[in-house]
């Protein structure tokens, strides 16, 4: 699985991992802030962006994909930042190469299995677009809007719509994501990771709850937490300056 990736900046390596339905560009706000002092590697996970599609979609698979990129680049030490599903990929990496991860930052995700199906309307919208011969982004958004009410969510999804010789198509693997949704929402606990870890929660988001504390502590005993006020799940997009400051402070502390 040869992932598509981007490299920016120079300095200590930081890996950025996007969430479900995303791509490397989604964490561009973080990359622009960090590339002044770090080498940033932003990846497209399998079944997303410009990376290959696959029928297998476990967190261990996705973690190994990212590790393979780092191996190809001869990078032996790095910090990793993951948002949402990308946070779970980052956490899964700690089982495969704990001694090489200098620091772990998880944006609004807990190491637990979630029971609530949060994306039924999104999948319905994606399938509605896939079932039509789409000739413009405007036409795609019209079909998408029948299922996805929030304009911001539609615009986020449409970033992964690409023009081909046969009209417009989704870059991500819609059928594969639907087939593996239970795995995406699930979680297999990892051995305790002793390295510095930071969980950053959006105050208004439901992804990190008080009753997740035991699971976090068991798997990440040196974890610290930071809440960003008046933000939801997309905290880095809603309050980029605040989130960037939190991340830079954490990364700077690793050097001391």
For the annotated catalytic residues, the residue numbers are 84, 233
In this structure, the dihedral spanned by the alpha carbons of residues 55, 100, 235 and 116, taken in order and rounded to 10 degrees, is 40
Q: Which residues of 43-81 are buried (b: 16+ CB within 10 A; e: fewer)?
A: bbbbbbbebebeeebebebbbbbbbebbeeeeeeebbbb
- Contact assessment for residue 215 and residue 223, using Cβ atoms and an 8 Å cutoff: no
| Beta partners for residue 178, in sequence order | none
In this structure, the dihedral spanned by the alpha carbons of residues 9, 15, 16 and 19, taken in order and rounded to 10 degrees, is 160
Please give the structure tokens belonging to residue 19. 């969430």
């Amino acid at each position: 699985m040869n992932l598509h990736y981007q490299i920016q900046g120079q300095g200590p390596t930081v890996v950025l991992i996007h969430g479900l339905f995303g791509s490397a560009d989604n964490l561009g706000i973080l990359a622009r802030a960090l590339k002044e002092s770090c080498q940033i590697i932003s990846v497209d996970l399998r079944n997303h962006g410009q990376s290959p599609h696959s029928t297998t979609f476990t967190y261990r698979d996705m973690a190994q994909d990212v590790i393979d990129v780092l191996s190809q680049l001869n990078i032996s030490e790095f910090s990793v930042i993951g948002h949402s599903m990308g946070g779970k990929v980052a956490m899964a990496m700690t089982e495969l190469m704990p001694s090489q991860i200098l620091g772990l930052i998880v944006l609004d995700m807990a190491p637990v299995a979630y029971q609530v199906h949060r994306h039924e309307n999104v999948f319905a919208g994606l399938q509605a677009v896939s079932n039509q011969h789409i000739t413009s982004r405007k036409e795609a958004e019209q079909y998408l809007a029948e299922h996805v009410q929030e304009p911001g969510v539609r615009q986020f999804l449409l970033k992964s719509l690409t023009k081909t010789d046969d009209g417009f198509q989704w870059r991500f693997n819609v059928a594969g994501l639907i087939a593996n949704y239970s795995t995406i929402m699930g979680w297999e606990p990892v051995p305790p990771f002793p390295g510095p870890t930071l969980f950053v929660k959006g105050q208004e988001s439901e992804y990190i709850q008080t009753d997740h504390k035991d699971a976090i502590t068991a798997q990440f005993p040196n974890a610290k937490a930071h809440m960003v006020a008046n933000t939801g799940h997309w905290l880095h997009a809603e309050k980029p300056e605040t989130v960037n400051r939190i991340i830079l402070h954490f990364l700077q502390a690793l050097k001391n």
